[in-house]
Structure 1
């Protein structure tokens, strides 16, 4: 459902452009689908990395836990 406007745009590109221009634009449009899907898988890890980095810099000093 989210990619429906992308496909509609691809059909318009094929209608109004010819030859290599249409192929190049269509290729870029089609490659945006897997890239955007990959973004949803990578985003939680990116946020976790930033949270860890931010916590390490701004955290108050604590005593080491002897249980570990």
Structure 2
């Protein structure tokens, strides 16, 4: 099960959630691709990792 505590920091995020919690985020506006291959942690927030990276690329505060 996937969940987000907040919306993605970019409007064009494409998010694919696969078997074993493998996740692919594609952000065309930032020329960014993120692949997550971590364990299935039910406390994982699907928006946190891409939002930190998107905000850093945009020069905004990542916190």
After TM superposition, the score normalised by the length of structure 2 is 0.30
- Of Structure 1 and Structure 2, which has the larger fraction of its residues in strand? 2
Higher helix fraction (1 or 2): 1
TM-score norm. by structure 1 comes to 0.28
